[in-house]
Amino acid sequence: MQKYLRIYHILLRLNFSALVTYRTNFFNAVIGSFVWGVFSMVSVLLLTSRTPFLFGWKREEIVLLTGVYSLFIGIFHFAFSRNFERIPIYVRLGTLDAMLLKPLDTQFFVSIFLINFASIIRIIIGSLVIWYLLAQTQTLVTISSIILFLLFLSAGIVLLYSLWFMVTTITIWYPDLSNIVEFLFSFSNVGRYPREMFARVNRFVFFFLLPLTFIVETPLKGLLDKLAPLEIGGLIGFASLFFLISRIFWKFALRHYTSASS
Amino acid sequence: MRYFRIFFLHFQQAFALRSRSMVWFLISLFNPVLFYIFWAGAYHEKGNIFTSWNLSNVAVYYILLVIAGSLLIVHIEEDVAHWDIQEGGLSRYILKPFPYIWLKFFEELPWRLIQGAFGIITFVVFRILLGDFLSVSLPLSIVILAVCIWIFAYLLSFFYKMILGISALWITDYSGLQQISEVVIVIFAGLLMPLEFLPDTVRQIATALPFSYIIYYPLVALQGKLNIVDMLRVIGIQSLWIIGLHFLFQLLWKKGVKLFTGIGQ
């Protein structure tokens, strides 16, 4: 464990050096992160502009959900997203070979190699919105609810990570499908909406989307002290299950990896 | 004939990579479906909140949006900015005896057609499943004008994205600009919701910009929400934007191509 923490620390330093070296790239990424952060807020304000109360949620609560989503997705993009974009490239160019030879867990290595510092902007935007709305609605937040929030936020990140990883693993067989990661960006948007919104859709579609409805809603309910036991079980259960499946699937996929040069 | 061959070669390539097109299409499909689920939920809970629209109109709008998103939103800008300008691939284009813009036009068109075909298939499937809920019946004159609006919308989208792409001749890394452009398009083109649902000020801005003529107006034209005079007005405005953007492209290209340095190509 200590070895992995040390490696992560080194990677943080290396990624920071890259950021300082390629400042224009970083500046552009910051603009992108800021624009999408603001967009998610603007879009939810526009969507809810006609109704102050929807799906059993007040308008401020839906905006708060988007704020938590911004914070959540900011952390996710900071730690993982860029790595998922690279996995199909490793497969196509055969550079995965070198990673497989390293005395490290390959899933760990391919998942954390690149760190996107620009996403801190989204974390800041999300945090500011949460802070502002909690203050506006005079919601009492206790230390225990903040701990619950952070705990469930981490579980949500594990769940989303596992879903992304499972889907990206498919590129071991089909490296041409590198754009599947772009689809995952859209797919994760489901977490921005209240679960109740999907209650009317086809049962199959609902169960397909169900895990994603836990990633942001459960941490928020933890913060607001509105958690039901089923909700806690749902998030923890899905996160553990999908993480396990993602590991098994990755190991299975590696058995079919043929390398680009062999 | 030569352009047809170029088109056909790129069509073969795009067809060979149809699984990639399928994924791009899924991206175009996912968000409209999500927005429709939102509005359908709101409709069932609050009754008719759309004033002049009913739920069937909203459903048709978002399903047509799947086709429009795949067919009309051109994605040539990354090719131009990243692969041609940043990576230097432009060298092999400027040596060819064809205008760069038309080579790119025939490179992009097959991808749009294949993804658009996925969209049309999806529409037909939904139409069979949902029956009259998705019915659209239009007189022939309206259909002909709507087809014109779709063709003009494609040209408008293409010239806009080409200008966005060649901005890399000045700024090299255009990704920040691209992100801003994407967000502006989502809000003002009608990808988020029909312009009628937007607050008044945002709607006024949207109608003053070219983006609503790429998505929103082609959709409402095909829904029969515009009369012949309105449609002719839309075609007129689209033509002005196309001429303006084409002129701007030529101007920027003439100045910008002198800045290009294809080192090592």
ipTM of the complex: 0.86
pLDDT at B252 over 60: yes
Q: For residue B69, what pLDDT is reported? A: 94
How far is B177 from chain A, CA to nearest CA, in Å? 8
Q: For residue A229, what pLDDT is reported? A: 86
B175 touches chain A (CB under 8 A): yes
Would you write out chain A's pLDDT as a tens digit for each of its 262 residues? 889 999 999 999 999 888 888 787 788 888 888 999 999 999 999 988 878 888 888 999 999 999 999 999 999 999 999 999 999 989 988 889 989 999 999 999 999 999 999 999 999 999 999 999 999 988 888 999 999 999 999 999 999 999 999 999 999 999 888 889 999 999 998 999 998 888 878 777 777 888 888 999 999 999 988 888 888 999 999 999 999 999 999 999 999 998 866 5
Q: Inspect the interface and report whether the beta carbons of B176 and A32 lie closer than 8 Å.
A: yes
Residue range B210-232: average pLDDT?
Answer: 95
Residue B9 domain flag: yes
Residue B265 domain flag: no
Query: Which pLDDT band, with edges at 50, 70 and 90, does B264 fall under?
Result: low
Q: For residue A261, what pLDDT is reported? A: 62
- Residue-wise DSSP of B158-208: HHHHHHHHHTHHHHS--HHHHHHHHHHHHHHTTSSS-GGGS-HHHHHHHHH
Q: How far apart (Å, rounded) are the C-alpha atoms in residues B33 and A165?
A: 24
Residue B264 domain flag: no
**Nearest chain B residue to A23, by CA:** B173
Half-sphere exposure of A144 (CA within 13 A, CB side): 3
Which residues from B are below 8 Å from A196, CB to CB?
41
Q: Inspect the interface and report whether the beta carbons of A36 and B183 lie closer than 8 Å.
A: yes
Rg of chain A over all Cα atoms, to the nearest angstrom: 19
Cα of B184 vs its chain's centroid, Å: 13
Residue B92 domain flag: yes
Count of structural domains, chain B: 1
**Which of A27, A35, A116, A182 to mutate to test binding with chain B, by most B CBs within 10 Å of its CB?**
A35
Residue B169 domain flag: yes
Q: For residue B265, what pLDDT is reported? A: 52
Q: How far apart (Å, rounded) are the C-alpha atoms in residues B156 and B241?
A: 7
**Is the backbone of residue B131 left (phi > 0), alpha (psi -120 to 50) or beta?**
left
Q: How far apart (Å, rounded) are the C-alpha atoms in residues B107 and B89?
A: 14
Residue B212 domain flag: yes
Query: Exposed (0-12), middle (13-18) or buried (19+): which is A156, by Cβ within 10 Å?
Result: buried
Most confident of A206-210, A212-216, B150-154, B196-200: B150-154
**Which of A173, A183, A198, A203 to mutate to test binding with chain B, by most B CBs within 10 Å of its CB?**
A183
B125 touches chain A (CB under 8 A): no
Mean pLDDT of chain B: 91
Interface of A with B (CB under 8 A): 24-25, 27-32, 35-36, 38-39, 42-43, 46-47, 49-51, 54-55, 174, 176-180, 182-183, 186-187, 189-190, 193, 196-201
Q: For residue B263, what pLDDT is reported? A: 62
Q: Domain limits at B147?
A: 2-259
